[in-house]
Amino acid sequence: MLRIFLVLVSLSLLAGCATQKSKGDLLETTLESYAATIRWGNFEDAAAFVDPETLKAHPLTALDFERYRQVRISGYNAQPARPTGDNEVALTAEVVLTNNNTQSVRSVLDRQRWRYDDKARRWWLVTGLPDITQR
């Protein structure tokens, strides 16, 4: 009886580890997909990574997307994500932009916060898309 109990406890602990690992794997996949989407300059698709609550509070406008169309992304360098809570991570990425009209190059820092949604089983970008109007 004790053996069965120990096996059940071990299995439940392993299941908990598997859940954490899959959450970590999902974070890695999400961050890689987001980075690739930004590198290609596809901000319409990148908006799908943004937390719906963030979009509700700060909707992206046609002007925002027009600003994104005025630049080409020539670099995206992200620091490793660091946990800031049970279901939250933060990272900083340097986004290198080339202005399509002037060919001037500049970079902006994108300080990202991501949260895991247990219900949707996915990571959401809480901080929104990069602010390319920074100076």
Q: Is the pLDDT of residue 7 over 70?
A: no
Q: Is residue 48 part of a domain?
A: yes
Q: Which residues pair with 82 in a beta bridge?
A: 90
**Residue 24 phi, psi (nearest 5):** -65, -40
75-88 pLDDT, tens digit per residue, is: 999 999 999 999 99
Residue bearing the bigger pLDDT, 10 or 132 = 132
Q: Is residue 132 part of a domain?
A: no
Q: Is residue 46 part of a domain?
A: yes
What domain range is 57 assigned to? 2-125
10-36 pLDDT, tens digit per residue, is: 334 434 444 556 899 999 999 999 999
d(CA 132, CA 64): 9
| Mean pLDDT, residues 93-121 taken together | 97
**What is the number of structural domains in the chain?**
1
CATH for 87: 3.10.450.100
d(CA 115, CA 84): 10
pTM exceeding the 0.85 threshold for the entire prediction: no
